[in-house]
Structure 1
Amino acid sequence: MDADPYRRKLHYRAHHRGTREADAMVGGFFDHHSAEWGPEQFEWFERLIDEQDVDIMAWALGTAEPDPAFAGPLMDLMMRLDFISLPEGLSTHKS
């Protein structure tokens, strides 16, 4: 567990969004990329997680244009969706 209270707070908020899908998307993004971030990236992420999950997910999935305040390299990374891992037992394929 990270000893930095600020990072712990962001980690918690990223992983407790309200839906499994948002937890996987926002929390996975934080887990996968935050170790490389500096103060500007953390500030961007903190503003992002104040937004509604439906908006964040639509921006990441490309079904809506990102708010200009969030457009840029970090949103481009989020839109790749290569950081998402689904919990065991949760499948994207129908049987």
Structure 2
Amino acid sequence: MTIDHDSRLRRLRFRAWHRGFREADLILGPFADNHAQTLTPEQLDRLEALLENPDREIYAWIVGQEATPEAFETDVLAMIRTFRFEAHAVRPIGDGA
């Protein structure tokens, strides 16, 4: 891992956690923390391109409230959707535990 790659991952994780829309932060931040280091350079490119979009649109694509534009219907978005589903299966929203 190079310093440039490390810097890219840090910047990407920061962007994922600081979207300005809390619901998106709570999906994208943990996803980046857990998966960014294992993504290929091409997948990192796709994640960075996804993060260029408005928060509410990204969130709507993830949860299926809106149709995802073809350009963003990628393996990375599929991974984010799976991550969201698995995270909520482990600890459902509203679980006081």
Greater fraction of residues in helix? 2
Partner of 2:9: 7
Partner of 2:77: 75
Read off the aligned partner of 1:11 and give its amino acid letter. R
Q: TM-score, normalised by structure 1?
A: 0.78
Q: Does the 8 Å CA contact 1:11/1:27 hold for their aligned counterparts?
A: yes
For the residues of structure 2 that align with 1:53 and 1:77, how far apart are their CA atoms?
17
* 4+ long deviations beyond 2 Å: none
Aligned CA distance change for structure 1 residues 37 and 23 (closer, same or farther; 3 Å): same
Q: TM-score, normalised by structure 2?
A: 0.76
Read off the aligned partner of 1:60 and give its amino acid letter. I
For the residues of structure 2 that align with 1:23 and 1:77, how far apart are their CA atoms?
16
The alpha carbon displacement at 1:83 in A equals 4.0
**Structure 2 unaligned blocks of 5 or more:** none
Tell me the C-alpha RMSD between the 2 structures: 2.0
Secondary structure in 1 matching 2:26: helix
Identity over aligned residues, as a percent? 33
> How many aligned positions are there?
86
Partner of 1:87: none
Secondary structure in 2 matching 1:18: coil
Aligned CA distance change for structure 1 residues 83 and 33 (closer, same or farther; 3 Å): farther
**Structure 1 unaligned blocks of 5 or more:** 85-90
